[in-house]
A and B are shown apart, each in its own frame.
Chain A
Amino acid sequence: MKRIDIDHAEGRSRRIDTPGHHPEREAQPRGAIRRGKRPIDHAEAAERFLAAPDHLAFHDQRLWDLRQKRDREAFAIPEWEELRDLASSIKDYALANLDTLLEEFERNAQANGITVHWARDGAEHNRIVVEIMRRHDAPLLVKSKSMLTEECGFRDHMQEQGLAVIETDLGERIQQLDNEDPSHVVVPAVHKLRADVAAVFAKTLGTDPDNHDPAYLAEQQRESNRPLILGAGVGMTGANFLVAETGTVVVCTNEGNADLSANVPPVHIVSAGIEKIIPRAGDLGVFIRLLSRSALGSPITQYTSHFRGPRLGAEMHVILVDNGRSARLGMQQFRSALKCIRCGACMNTCPVYRRSGGLSYGATYAGPIGLIIDPTIDQRKYSALPYASTLNGSCTAVCPVKIDIHQQIHAWRGIMAEQKEPSRTKRTAMKAAALLLAHPSAYRVAVRTVGTVLPHMPRFAVYNPLNAWGRGREVPNAPRRTFHDWYKANRT
């Protein structure tokens, strides 16, 4: 295997040497602590990520690098913004006609020899797969990366059923072997450094623990996976798009692992969310032009594969999964999140995500898009996530299908406030601040009197104890008098 140093779109990232060589390997920060239904504390997990300087520096720089590549590709296309508009309107059309388009897809797929299944939720999806595997007496399934199967808790379920599942995407395989969720929808192991991967592979694949060379590690994974792919009874892929007009399933990968998973075993199962539907084959031009440019800054993924029916002598199944999507369709304010094509651009650009790591969100979907999808899955558990954002809007501006992500994050805060999710302290402080700010004379008294406690700190603007501001920053100097008083003295 050759390591390429020449110019290449996706991998133009140079190796990033982390500042300050640490002879002792820095431990990989782990994700958010999950305690049943208790709200995920993103801030706590983020602090642990920030405390790992090598991981932090690499993670931030690697994803910023992807954002810059995305800019270069996007700015090279004069019709870029027009493509975003088109993608957004095609998705609007697809959502407004989702029922008939799903039926059209089903009809056309069946006509081509595909078996179409429907699953209300993850459990139903998992049951369908188990049934197919049992029917074929297949103990082993190889699969390409799919966020939907993460939603469905697919691997855990299969393990309980005594069936083996092997991830074929390198990043996803690393995560599987480390028993960790993907931290990013496109680059699942981006929060790991090479030494972390070497440690995981040494433990699970028996590789040389002292060899951290990515080329060596990737080659070991290729060689260990290949016999499994050749021997698997069932192959599974996700779907980036489902074309109603032609009954086509479109899958995009850079490794070609979806094509291996689909084309080697005698059975191909596609797990697809019902929102993946687009009306026509001609619409694909818009989405494929946007997808990889937004995700990785490459003009296209190395493999863009269109499955329209089973291979000669093979079977093909498509499982159309709802798992909360039809309910989300009814949430007018948050419906447009269903337009997401899982490019990860909002994660790459998000300054909070880059500094906290995808696992700090403690949910299937991390980053800005996660902040608006996760609460639809479990409002209580993800009640703090909408606050893990500065509302800077960069996510909205990069989104290829123009989801108003930061507006929805803010809208979720409104719902959390209505549902009394924020702490009683915060709610009381907000009410007190609101009362004060609505009464000018009381407000003026407050502004003057706080000065004796902590020089002019605007408690009305900062509901938390002051040390939250002062832990990492200096408090501004308090001038002798306010503008208000100056104006009174000088202009009246």
Chain B
Amino acid sequence: MRIGLFIPCFIDTFYPDVGIATLELLERLGLDVAYPFDQTCCGQPMGNSGFTAECHAVERLFVENFAGFDAIVCPSASCTNQVRNKFSVDDEAGRLVRGKTYELVEFLHDVIGLDRLPRAEFPYQVTLHNSCTALRALDHEPAPEMNLPFHSKPRALLATVEGLTIVETDRAGECCGFGGTYSVTEEAVSARMGLDKVTRQQNTGAAYVVSADMSCLMHQQGCAARAGIDLNYLHIAQILNGYRP
């Protein structure tokens, strides 16, 4: 299986370690992974604001970059959702690429299988942050508002990590306030939501917050730092890849 690695723009710029962890993890699974150099972004900043027409060329570029792969893997739920469910390119090539694009957790859980994960150890308490997209669009867990049987893909993955325990954040399913461009259009409410989120994370006593979405964590990290709250934010790929502090 030839895997195309899609590293979202903000991970590329701010969190290269998350990209590296994702790549190494996939390589340790024996997969043939390549990173197409001409990739830029999924177009979410424009799409999220309603500028869908402006997204066309970006989407076209994405499809060109990733057309040749058997699967495209991305360490971000919201970017995956953008490609899979929001792209307007709807020709055959576009549909093919959209259908083959996976978010990392669902790829590991649904396509690879838990038994093939490499050994990882993380003897600490963590609290899990599921992004709104992961919960309500990608089915990492059922939407917390709905009366559905429980399952959790990220928890199943984290359960394979030795020594790791999860402690629950109060109001875990509440949005942290990032919301893409929302973080700047309504920065005051956004930052307040972030402050409330990181305060509840701090109240768990865990030293680490782990998530499949680095964009939420970028926002939360910024809010925690401003409030002087000492929490460490890690992408799930880093933990699964054996990150040790």
Chains A and B share a contact (CB less than 8 Å): yes
Interface residues of A in 432-483 (CB under 8 A from B): 433-438, 440, 443, 447, 456, 458, 460-464, 468-469, 471-479, 481-483
Interface size counted on chain B using CB atoms at 8 A: 76
With a cutoff of 8 Å between Cβ atoms, the chain A residues found around residue B52 in the complex are 414, 417
**17 residue pairs from A and B, CB less than 8 Å apart:** A80-B147, A351-B174, A355-B193, A390-B193, A392-B132, A392-B175, A394-B143, A394-B173, A418-B53, A434-B58, A438-B61, A458-B9, A472-B226, A473-B223, A474-B221, A476-B15, A484-B7
- CB atoms of A486 and B16 under 8 A apart: yes
Contact flags (1/0) for B24-67 with A, using CB distance below 8 Å?
00000000000101111101011011111111011011000000
- CB atoms of A434 and B147 under 8 A apart: no
Spot the interface stretch: B94-102, B117-125, B177-185: B177-185
Contact flags (1/0) for B189-209 with A, using CB distance below 8 Å?
111111110000000000000
With a cutoff of 8 Å between Cβ atoms, the chain A residues found around residue B10 in the complex are 458, 461
Q: How far is the CA of A389 from the CA of B196 in the complex (A)?
A: 17
- CB atoms of B223 and A481 under 8 A apart: no
- CB atoms of A414 and B225 under 8 A apart: no
Smallest CB–CB gap between A295 and chain B, Å?
14
- Evaluate whether A47 and B188 lie within 8 angstroms (CB atoms) in the complex, with A391-B182, A479-B16 already known: yes
- CB atoms of B54 and A434 under 8 A apart: yes
Smallest CB–CB gap between A487 and chain B, Å?
5
Q: How far is the CA of A413 from the CA of B53 in the complex (A)?
A: 12
- CB atoms of B50 and A349 under 8 A apart: no
Asked whether any CB of chain A lies closer than 8 Å to the CB of B92, the reply is no
Contact flags (1/0) for A389-420 with B, using CB distance below 8 Å?
11111101110000000000010111111100
Spot the interface stretch: A9-17, A28-36, A71-79, A333-341: A71-79
Asked whether any CB of chain A lies closer than 8 Å to the CB of B219, the reply is yes
For the complex of A and B, the 3 pairs showing the least CB-CB separation, nearest first, are A472-B191, A390-B179, A413-B50
Q: How far is the CA of A447 from the CA of B9 in the complex (A)?
A: 9
Interface residues of A in 339-395 (CB under 8 A from B): 349, 351-352, 355-356, 386-394
Asked whether any CB of chain B lies closer than 8 Å to the CB of A219, the reply is no
Point out which of A64, A80, A463 has the most chain B C-beta atoms below 10 A from its C-beta: A463
With a cutoff of 8 Å between Cβ atoms, the chain B residues found around residue A389 in the complex are 179, 182
Contact flags (1/0) for A69-92 with B, using CB distance below 8 Å?
001001101101100000000000
With a cutoff of 8 Å between Cβ atoms, the chain A residues found around residue B110 in the complex are none
Smallest CB–CB gap between B112 and chain A, Å?
21
Identity of the chain A residue whose Cβ is nearest the Cβ of B18 in the assembled complex:
A483
* Interface residues of A, dominant DSSP: helix
Q: How far is the CA of A134 from the CA of B38 in the complex (A)?
A: 75
Q: How far is the CA of A116 from the CA of B89 in the complex (A)?
A: 50
- CB atoms of A461 and B9 under 8 A apart: yes
- CB atoms of A398 and B145 under 8 A apart: yes
- A482 in complex: contacting residue of B16, B148, B191, CB < 8 Å: B16
Q: How far is the CA of A151 from the CA of B143 in the complex (A)?
A: 33
- A468 in complex: contacting residue of B9, B37, B136, B184, CB < 8 Å: B184
With a cutoff of 8 Å between Cβ atoms, the chain A residues found around residue B133 in the complex are 393
Given contacts A413-B50, A443-B40, A460-B41, 10 further A-B contacts (CB under 8 A): A42-B186, A74-B145, A81-B148, A351-B177, A355-B192, A393-B133, A440-B40, A447-B12, A469-B222, A474-B225
Q: How far is the CA of A479 from the CA of B189 in the complex (A)?
A: 28
- A43 in complex: contacting residue of B188, B194, B222, CB < 8 Å: B188
Asked whether any CB of chain B lies closer than 8 Å to the CB of A136, the reply is no
Q: How far is the CA of A473 from the CA of B207 in the complex (A)?
A: 20
Smallest CB–CB gap between A233 and chain B, Å?
45
Interface size class of A (residues with CB under 8 A): 35 or more
Identity of the chain A residue whose Cβ is nearest the Cβ of B217 in the assembled complex:
A476
- B19 in complex: contacting residue of A386, A417, A434, A483, CB < 8 Å: A483
Point out which of A388, A390, A475 has the most chain B C-beta atoms below 10 A from its C-beta: A390
With a cutoff of 8 Å between Cβ atoms, the chain B residues found around residue A414 in the complex are 50, 52
Asked whether any CB of chain A lies closer than 8 Å to the CB of B187, the reply is yes
- B35 in complex: contacting residue of A427, A478, A491, CB < 8 Å: A491
With a cutoff of 8 Å between Cβ atoms, the chain A residues found around residue B9 in the complex are 437, 458, 460-461
Identity of the chain B residue whose Cβ is nearest the Cβ of A394 in the assembled complex:
B145
Q: How far is the CA of A198 from the CA of B61 in the complex (A)?
A: 62
- Evaluate whether A46 and B189 lie within 8 angstroms (CB atoms) in the complex, with A417-B50, A474-B226 already known: yes
Identity of the chain B residue whose Cβ is nearest the Cβ of A415 in the assembled complex:
B50
Smallest CB–CB gap between A337 and chain B, Å?
18
- CB atoms of B190 and A472 under 8 A apart: yes
With a cutoff of 8 Å between Cβ atoms, the chain A residues found around residue B182 in the complex are 387, 389-391
Q: How far is the CA of A116 from the CA of B188 in the complex (A)?
A: 48
Interface residues of A in 75-131 (CB under 8 A from B): 75, 77-78, 80-81
With a cutoff of 8 Å between Cβ atoms, the chain A residues found around residue B40 in the complex are 436-438, 440, 443
- A351 in complex: contacting residue of B148, B193, B226, CB < 8 Å: B193
- CB atoms of B187 and A433 under 8 A apart: no
Contact flags (1/0) for B122-144 with A, using CB distance below 8 Å?
00000000001101110000011
Q: How far is the CA of A477 from the CA of B16 in the complex (A)?
A: 12
Q: How far is the CA of A427 from the CA of B181 in the complex (A)?
A: 13
- B46 in complex: contacting residue of A50, A430, A488, CB < 8 Å: A430
Q: How far is the CA of A415 from the CA of B187 in the complex (A)?
A: 23
Smallest CB–CB gap between A290 and chain B, Å?
12
- CB atoms of B226 and A473 under 8 A apart: yes
Asked whether any CB of chain A lies closer than 8 Å to the CB of B218, the reply is yes
With a cutoff of 8 Å between Cβ atoms, the chain A residues found around residue B50 in the complex are 386, 410, 412-418, 422
With a cutoff of 8 Å between Cβ atoms, the chain A residues found around residue B175 in the complex are 351, 390, 392, 394
Contact flags (1/0) for B147-176 with A, using CB distance below 8 Å?
110000000000000000000000101110
Asked whether any CB of chain B lies closer than 8 Å to the CB of A38, the reply is no
Asked whether any CB of chain B lies closer than 8 Å to the CB of A431, the reply is yes
Q: How far is the CA of A60 from the CA of B180 in the complex (A)?
A: 22
- CB atoms of B137 and A393 under 8 A apart: yes
- CB atoms of A463 and B45 under 8 A apart: yes
Point out which of A413, A434, A471 has the most chain B C-beta atoms below 10 A from its C-beta: A434
Q: How far is the CA of A356 from the CA of B193 in the complex (A)?
A: 11
Smallest CB–CB gap between B62 and chain A, Å?
9
With a cutoff of 8 Å between Cβ atoms, the chain B residues found around residue A477 in the complex are 14
Q: How far is the CA of A447 from the CA of B16 in the complex (A)?
A: 13
- CB atoms of A434 and B57 under 8 A apart: yes
With a cutoff of 8 Å between Cβ atoms, the chain A residues found around residue B1 in the complex are none
